[in-house]
Amino acid sequence: MKTFHDFDHLDAIIEKSNVLNAIVEIPKGHHNKYEFDKESGLFMLNRCLYSASHYPGDYGFIPQTLAEDGDALDILVMVNEPTFTGCLIRARVIGMFAMNDGDDRDCKLLGVPDSDPLYGEYNTLQDAPPHFLRVVEHFFTNYKQLEGVTIEPQGWKTKDEAMGEVKASIERFRQSKSEYMTTGKGNECFE
């Protein structure tokens, strides 16, 4: 019987706030797409980006969440220096970039390290540099273009809308986990 992956012991939300546990898959500036492999419990090279783009921040997922695309909810964390694959960052959510990735709705939370004084005053999208937001939007709109995947940007959403997506993703995770534990069938993210 397959079990939940190793990060499921971490809560998504820390102390009922807008601070989340974020697991880094891809460090800032990298061109390789790493993903957590649930079967092996290791991070694996999923693919290399087809374009000359690189990730504009540390990119990963929020444990104990299930996004509409069937994976854990994605997060991009603004960092001054890249961390490393597998790093746990306590990230304060300031907003979310929404898009459609092919046929799937795909939301990318935007956060800052809660313990970094450089981002101590970042609480909403209005606190982030406008150019950085344009870089993130450009990256996610174009990073799969050479793969033949069409991304339809839906624009930036507020911190409150982002936290609403987090709570919905937590509920989807709990529901799917309950179904899996009861029937042994359910979302493939648990297999």
Flag whether 47 is marked binding. Answer: yes
Flag whether 55 is marked binding. Answer: no
Flag whether 11 is marked binding. Answer: no
Flag whether 74 is marked binding. Answer: yes
Residue 42 and residue 64: Cα distance in Å, rounded?
17
Flag whether 114 is marked binding. Answer: no
b/e code 14-45 from CB counts within 10 Å (16+ = b): eeeebbbbbbbbbbbebeebbbbebeeeebee
Annotated binding site: 33, 47, 59, 69, 74, 106, 143
Annotated binding site for Mg(2+): 69, 74, 106
Annotated binding site for substrate: 33, 47, 59, 143
